[in-house]
């Protein structure tokens, strides 16, 4: 019967949409394991995870916002800006790293708070509001640094954050897992998480059920801002310097990781663990292409195609609505 | 004899929706170049009939003959091509485009695909002239026109498409008396020009002024079609109500408490004005009125989902600023009319839907949800309301309409609401669940809960309420005791009859 056919096709599309990228991920790992000798070495695995750490931590914030049906394109810029401020405080003003780090994270949170207010109280579309914010932040970063690199011996004090090891394990990898475990628990076990999923599902019905929708949205943007601020610190630690463009390279990977991880663009559905897997997958793509000796000039094409495929799967899954 | 030249004839039209026979063997004819009125209570089948004629719905069976041809449009645009245009209450215009563009939309005069603006302007000018509405500026944006002018633009748009039958659904709902007179002049003019009008209205007075014939529908059945000259208002109302057998409603709760909720001169600029009444504990208060009377908006305003311009709401003796979150704290629950969009979260489980307003109470100090408590809370409601679901974790999307409605209510019972605002709680659900909801309302009020029931169904209002507030054009037309009135009296007030005349 045609109707049954249709149902089973939908089912297949659903399974692929839900887990498709994991299948592709496994396939990619198998190919790399067979064609290269270095991929599965513990050294390379930790390299990949360390590269994934920063992206995956900011991606948690992006995920919260996208679960609510919004999107924040300013997180990478917020990372860069707060990283520059922290670095400058240490290098130019000899502020102790603890205080500089605190300021860095607070600036991120403040940027998120402003974004949240723009989206809820002023009621600007989330993409547009954060696009504006992105430009402001990039402009301020450029104006402050005058295009110069900020670097100094004081930065060695924060080197451990992104470059340290605990035994054989890179410290940022530990941070990454801690953040994911904490936010997994928050999203799945607490009232906060329940409200995030409810609002993403249907914000009008959630509001009528007595949930303070605007307050929750502002909170999500603010948390995302805090995470971006912290990641800015990590990135400064990793580079051992700060430049006006230090956040820019993250814009694309953050969004790709969250969307590839199956967070629906319309909100309400998706699992945090898939965002983590997708972040690692993304880094594996770059890592694998390098190991395979694929030209740098072609790499952009491939990562672009991955985003398109991820978006297509997302649409396939929700076409039924 | 050529005396009866019918432009449209319907024979034995049937159309069902799940659980409802919307049209059940309707047959009647409309003479050419006449104004034909269509009346009936809510749910009589008028909308379904309009949708079938305008091509938005296909009948299950039966035949329609239009201009001596079998008429079965597959789509609204096919109906318009055949000469049947429909003007809905919510006008279908492009507010940011000019009057000319709107009148010519879909039939833009062009040369090789390039717009011929000169011809478009001439056409619009000519047609507005015919309608005696040359005063409407051709280049104005339609969004800036008055409602009555928009309506004329809508009529002009229909005429440019060679419309032979014009269906008008409640065209006077948003017009004042002067505008209504102007509209009637236009309708009479159209009739002179040979256009047939199917005029759907709740306002019986207008029908007597305007129509040649009238068709009454009731519960999807054709009651009668007759020349207006041979019928009276009372006879029409009787036809619309019929002699319905009242369902067996249990006796109403007699132990009423003190005042719980009071409205003082509540006003929202265009929808309702100066609404005042008071509701006691254990009481069922119904708010009723026709579509467009403001009853649903008044309900929404009580919870903060509709703006209030002046007046106040007093809840438990204190001024209440409406807002869903504050209402929840005051144990005031709301079951909205549109349960799919507003009442339930379709992609979440039955358990989470029921627990949603109670989450703070069933979590520990750190905000961790205690899942045992959540399951217990949801299970009690599923058992108590007999919600049919294979498990608590089933997504609400997969439940039937009636069970979704119960979930929409269950969340407020779970959180211990003492006041419940129910908007059209039995709309679109089957009779079995309907009576379960009636029993539940009765039980809740007997336990001391206050129920505000916004409903169009007069039988349920009569069967359940202690107090009936009838709105007409946004104003309180009458406040009636539930046991001292009858269906006919309520209906008369909903149609705007003055209090003095009724007794």
Interchain contact, B359 vs A210, CB within 8 Å: no
Picking from A189, A201, A212, the nearest residue to B345 by CB comes out as: A201
Residues of chain A with Cβ-Cβ distance to B366 below 8 Å are 190
Secondary structure (DSSP) of A64-85 = HHHHTT---S-HHHHHHHHHHH
Min Cα distance A274 → chain B (Å) is: 19
The DSSP bridge pattern shows strands B310-315 and B259-268 to be: antiparallel
Partners of B336 on chain A (C-beta within 8 Å) are: 208
Per-residue burial over A195-234, b if 16 or more Cβ lie within 10 Å, else e, is: bbbbbbbbbebbbbbbbbbbebbbbbbbbbbbbbbbbbbb
Among A198, A210, A270, A271, the residue to mutate for chain B (most B Cβ within 10 A): A210
Top CATH class, B6-241? alpha beta
Label residue B143 exposed, middle or buried (CB < 10 Å: 0-12, 13-18, 19+): exposed
The reported pLDDT for the residue numbered A65 is 97
Please tell me which of the candidates B342, B367, B368 has its beta carbon nearest to residue A204: B342
Residues of chain A contacting residue B329, judged by C-beta atoms under 8 Å apart = 210
Q: Number of Cβ pairs closer than 8 Å across A and B?
A: 65
Residues of A in contact with B343 (CB under 8 A): 205, 208
Average pLDDT of chain B? 89
- CA distances for A197 relative to B117, B153, B347, angstroms: 52, 45, 10
Query: Does A313 have pLDDT greater than 80?
Result: no
Mean pLDDT of A163-187: 95
CATH of A41-318, one of 1.10.3470, 1.10.260, 1.25.40, 1.20.1420: 1.10.3470
User: What pLDDT digit, counting tens, does each position of A74-120 carry?
Assistant: 999 999 999 999 999 999 999 999 999 999 999 999 999 999 999 99
Q: Is the pLDDT of residue B19 over 70?
A: no
Residue among A192, A208, A269 whose CB faces B334 most closely: A208
CA distance B384 to chain A (A): 20
Handedness of CA B459, B460, B466, B470 (dihedral sign): negative
Residue A5 confidence class, pLDDT cut points 50, 70, 90: low
Residues 6+ apart with CB under 8 A from B287: B295, B298, B299, B452, B453, B454, B455, B469, B471
Comparing CB atoms, the residue among A194, A206, A208 nearest residue B369 is A194
Between CA A254 and CA A265, with CA A260 as vertex, the angle to 5 degrees is 85
User: Do the chains contact at A208 and B303, CB–CB below 8 Å?
Assistant: yes
Torsions phi, psi for B239 (to 5 deg): -60, -40
CB contact under 8 A, A210 and B348: no
Q: What is the token pair recorded at B321?
A: 């600023």
Instruction: Convert the pLDDT of each residue in B284-313 to its tens digit.
Output: 999 999 878 899 999 999 999 999 999 999
Q: What is the pLDDT of residues B383-397, one digit of tens each?
A: 999 898 889 999 998
Contact criterion met (CB < 8 Å) for A209 and B348: no
In tens, the pLDDT along B348-369 reads: 999 999 999 999 999 999 999 9
Residues in CB range of B45: below 8 A, 6 or more apart: B22, B23, B24, B26, B217, B219, B220, B221
Considering only CB atoms, B411 lies closest to which of A204, A209, A212, namely A209
Q: Where are the beta strands (DSSP E) in B18-132?
A: 20-31, 35-39, 61-66, 69-70, 84-87, 110-111, 114-115
Interface contact flag, A194 B303, Cβ < 8 Å: no
Closest CA to B356 of A269, A267, A203: A203
pTM: 0.75
> Could you give the maximum distance between any two Cα atoms of chain B, in Å?
86
Q: Is B320 helix (H, G, I), strand (E, B) or coil?
A: strand
Distance CA B74, CA B82 (A): 11
Interchain CB distance below 8 Å, A191 and B369: yes
3-state helix, strand, coil in chain A (%, to 5): 80, 0, 20
Gap from A67 CA to chain B (nearest CA, Å): 13
Residue with the larger pLDDT of the pair B378 and A305? B378
Per DSSP, the three-state class of B221 is strand
> CB B363 to CB A211 under 8 A?
no
Look at B14-18, B162-166, B226-230, B350-354 and tell me which has the smallest mean pLDDT.
Answer: B14-18
Question: Dmax over Cα atoms in chain A, in whole Å?
Answer: 75
Q: Tell me B497's DSSP state.
A: -
Residue A2: pLDDT above 70?
no
CA A170 to each of CA A101, A167, A177, A238, B438: distance values in angstroms, whole numbers, following the listed order: 20, 8, 11, 12, 65
Q: Tell me if A207 and B324 make a contact (CB, 8 A cut-off).
A: yes
> Rounded to an integer, what distance in angstroms lies between the CA atom of residue B77 and that of residue B91?
16
Closest CA to A154 of A198, A101, A107: A101
- Of the candidates A201, A202, A210, the beta carbon closest to that of B324 is on A210
* Sequence spans of domains, chain A: 41-318
Please report which helix (H) or strand (E) contains residue B74, including its range: none
Q: How far apart are CA B498 and CA B159, in angstroms?
A: 38
Q: Is A268 on the interface with B (CB under 8 A)?
A: yes
| A267 contact residues in B (CB cutoff 8 A) | none
Fold agreement between B6-241 and B257-331+418-496: yes
Rounded Cα distance between B396 and A26, Å, is 34
The answer on pLDDT for B105 being more than 90 is: no
Q: Domain boundaries in chain B?
A: 6-241, 257-331+418-496, 340-416
Q: Under a CB-based contact definition with an 8 Å cutoff, are residues A198 and A217 in contact?
A: no
Instruction: Give the pLDDT band (50/70/90) at residue B502.
Output: very low
DSSP-assigned beta bridge partners for residue B268: B272
List phi, psi (to 5°) of A120. -95, -55
Which one-letter DSSP state was computed for residue B212?
A: S
Please indicate whether, in this complex, the C-beta atoms of A212 and B325 are within 8 angstroms of each other. Answer: yes
Asked if the Cβ–Cβ distance from A194 to B341 is below 8 Å, we say: no
Range with the lowest mean pLDDT among A210-214, B149-153, B248-252, B465-469? B248-252
Residue of B nearest to A196 (CA): B356
Contact (CB<8Å) B341/A191? no
Of all residues in chain A, the percent with pLDDT exceeding 90 is: 68
Establish if A212 touches chain B: CB-CB under 8 angstroms. yes
pLDDT at A317: 60
Beta strand A169-170 with B110-111 is: unpaired
β-partners of residue B224 are B216
- The answer to whether the Cβ–Cβ distance between B345 and A206 falls below 8 Å is yes
Least confident of A133-137, B182-186, B425-429: B425-429
Q: Residues 6 or more apart from A101 whose CB is under 8 A from it?
A: A86, A158, A233
Looking at the complex, does the CB of residue A67 fall below 8 Å from at least one CB of chain B?
A: no
Q: What is the dihedral sign for C-alpha A284, A290, A291, A295?
A: positive
Residue A274 has pLDDT above 60, yes or no: yes
Of A83, A89, A85, A61, the C-alpha closest to A73 is A61
Closest CA in chain A for residue B357: A209
Quickly state the pLDDT bin for A17 (edges 50, 70, 90): low
CB contact under 8 A, B342 and A190: no
Number of H helices, E strands in chain B: 17, 22
* Superfamily of domain B257-331+418-496, CATH level 4: P-loop containing nucleotide triphosphate hydrolases (3.40.50.300)
Query: ipTM higher than 0.90?
Result: no
**Inter-chain contact A192–B343, Cβ cutoff 8 Å?**
no
Nearest CA distance, A44 vs chain B (angstrom):
38
Q: In the prediction, which pLDDT does A286 show? A: 86
Detail the DSSP E strand segments found in A128-245. Answer: 165-166, 169-170
Contact B450, B261 (CB under 8 A): yes
β-pairing, B419-423 vs B332-335, is parallel
Compute the nearest-CA separation of B424 from chain A (Å): 16
Where do the DSSP E strands lie in B254-317? 259-268, 272-280, 284-289, 310-315
Beta bridge partners of B196: B165
- Residue labelled with tokens 């919510």: B90
What pLDDT, on the 0 to 100 scale, is given for residue B245?
Answer: 44
Distance, CA of A307 to CA of B490 (rounded, Å): 61
Cβ atoms within 10 A of the Cβ of B294, count? 24
Q: For B40, left (φ over 0), alpha (ψ -120 to 50), or beta? A: left
Cβ contact A224:A274 at 8 Å: no
- Cβ–Cβ under 8 Å, residues B476 and B277: yes
String of b and e for B449-474 (b: at least 16 CB within 10 Å)?
bbbbbbbbbbebbbbbbbbbbbbbeb
For residue B131 the two structure tokens come to 């309608």
């Amino acid at each position: 019967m045609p109707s049954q056919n249709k149902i089973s096709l939908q089912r297949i599309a659903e399974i692929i949409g839900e887990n498709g990228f994991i299948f592709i991920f496994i396939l990619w790992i198998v190919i790399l394991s067979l064609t290269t000798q270095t991929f599965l070495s513990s050294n390379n695995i930790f390299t990949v995870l360390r590269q994934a750490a920063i992206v995956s931590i900011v991606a948690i914030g992006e995920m919260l916002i996208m679960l609510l049906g919004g999107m924040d394109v300013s997180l990478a810029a917020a990372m860069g800006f707060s990283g520059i401020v922290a670095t400058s405080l240490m290098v130019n003003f000899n502020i102790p790293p603890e205080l500089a780090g605190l300021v860095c994270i607070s600036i991120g949170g403040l940027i998120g708070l402003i974004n949240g207010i723009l989206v809820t109280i002023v009621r600007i579309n989330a993409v547009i509001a954060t696009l504006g914010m992105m430009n402001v932040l990039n402009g301020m970063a450029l104006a402050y640094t005058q295009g110069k690199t900020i670097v100094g011996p004081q930065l060695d004090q924060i080197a451990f954050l992104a470059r340290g090891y605990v035994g054989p394990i890179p410290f940022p990898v530990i941070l990454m897992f801690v953040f994911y475990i904490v936010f997994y628990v928050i999203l799945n076990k607490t009232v906060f998480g329940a409200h995030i999923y409810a609002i993403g599902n249907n914000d009008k019905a959630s509001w009528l059920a007595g949930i303070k929708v605007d307050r929750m949205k502002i909170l999500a943007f603010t948390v995302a801002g805090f995470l971006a601020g912290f990641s800015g610190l990590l990135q400064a630690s990793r580079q051992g310097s700060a430049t006006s463009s230090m956040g820019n390279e993250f814009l694309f990977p953050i969004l790709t990781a969250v969307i590839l991880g199956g967070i629906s663009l319309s909100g309400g559905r998706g699992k945090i663990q898939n965002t983590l897997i997708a972040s690692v997958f993304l880094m594996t793509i770059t890592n694998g292409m390098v190991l395979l000796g694929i030209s740098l000039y072609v790499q952009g094409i491939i990562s672009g195609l991955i985003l398109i495929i991820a978006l297509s799967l997302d649409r396939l899954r929700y076409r039924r609505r | 004899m050529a005396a009866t030249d019918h432009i449209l004839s319907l024979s034995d039209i049937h159309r069902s929706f799940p659980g409802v026979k919307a049209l059940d063997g309707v047959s009647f004819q409309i003479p050419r170049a006449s104004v034909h009125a269509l009346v009936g209570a809510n749910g009589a089948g008028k909308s379904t009939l309009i949708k079938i004629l305008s091509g938005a719905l296909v009948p299950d069976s039966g035949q329609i003959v239009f201009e001596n041809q079998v008429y079965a449009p597959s789509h609204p645009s096919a109906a318009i091509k055949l000469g049947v245009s429909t003007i809905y209450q919510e006008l279908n215009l492009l507010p940011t485009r000019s009057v000319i563009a709107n009148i010519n939309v879909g039939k833009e005069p062009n040369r090789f695909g390039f717009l011929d603006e000169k011809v478009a302007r001439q056409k619009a000018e000519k047609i507005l002239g015919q309608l005696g509405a040359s005063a409407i500026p051709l280049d104005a944006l339609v969004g800036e026109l008055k409602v009555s002018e928009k309506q004329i633009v809508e009529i002009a748009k229909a005429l440019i498409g060679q419309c032979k039958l014009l269906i008008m659904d409640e065209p006077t709902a948003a017009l004042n008396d002067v505008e209504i007179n102007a509209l009637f002049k236009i309708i009479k003019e159209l009739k002179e020009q040979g256009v047939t009008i199917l005029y759907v209205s709740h306002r019986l007075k207008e029908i007597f002024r305007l129509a040649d014939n009238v068709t009454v529908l009731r519960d999807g059945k054709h009651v009668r079609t007759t020349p207006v000259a041979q019928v009276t208002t009372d006879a029409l109302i009787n036809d619309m109500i019929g002699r319905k057998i009242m369902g067996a409603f249990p006796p109403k709760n007699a132990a009423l408490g003190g005042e719980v909720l009071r409205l003082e001169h509540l006003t929202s600029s265009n929808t309702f004005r100066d609404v005042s009444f008071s509701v006691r504990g254990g009481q069922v208060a119904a708010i009723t009125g026709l579509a467009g009377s403001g009853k649903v908006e008044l309900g929404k305003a009580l919870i903060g989902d509709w703006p209030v311009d002046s007046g106040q709401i007093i809840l438990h003796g204190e001024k209440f600023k409406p807002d869903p979150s504050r209402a929840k704290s005051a144990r005031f629950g709301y079951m909205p009319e549109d349960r799919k969009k507003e009442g339930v979260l379709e992609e979440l489980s039955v358990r989470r839907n029921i627990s949603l307003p109670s989450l703070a109470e069933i979590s520990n100090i750190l905000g961790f949800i205690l899942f045992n408590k959540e399951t217990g809370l949801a299970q009690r409601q599923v058992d108590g309301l007999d919600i049919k679901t294979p498990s608590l974790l089933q997504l609400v999307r997969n439940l039937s309409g009636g069970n979704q409605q119960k979930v929409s209510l269950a969340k407020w019972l779970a959180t211990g609401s003492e006041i419940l605002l129910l908007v059209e709680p039995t709309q679109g659900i089957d009779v079995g669940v309907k009576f379960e909801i009636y029993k539940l309302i009765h039980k809740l009020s007997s336990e001391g809960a206050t129920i505000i029931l916004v409903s169009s169904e007069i039988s349920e209002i009569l069967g359940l309420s202690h107090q009936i507030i009838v709105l007409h054009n946004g104003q309180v037309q009458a406040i009636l005791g539930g046991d001292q009135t009858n269906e006919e009296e309520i209906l008369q007030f909903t149609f705007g009859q003055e209090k003095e005349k009724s007794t």
